[in-house]
Amino acid sequence: MLLGLIHSGDSTANMMKDAGLQEKEMKAAIAELRKGERVTSQSQEETYNALNKYAINLNKQA
């Protein structure tokens, strides 16, 4: 999604570029996160468990 946004050419893309985000660095970070694996199913996100790693479940907090 981020790669798509940076290519969109709209204000979001400009903001990302102004913040120093570059496509090459984003691709490298994605490759590091995936560790060579490719998305092969619609539930692949569960494999990475990204929400539990990088977010706080506000429902559980409440």
Quick one: which H or E segment has residue 11? helix 11-18
pTM of the model: 0.50
CA atoms of 42 and 24, how far apart (whole Å)? 26
Per residue in 43-58, pLDDT tens?
655 666 777 778 888 8
Query: Would you give the DSSP letter of residue 42?
Result: T
Q: What is the pLDDT of residues 15-54, one digit of tens each?
A: 988 999 888 998 888 888 888 777 666 665 566 677 777 8
| CA distance readout (Å), 46 to 33, 39, 55, 59 | 14, 11, 14, 19
- Residue 21: count of CB within 10 angstroms of its CB: 15
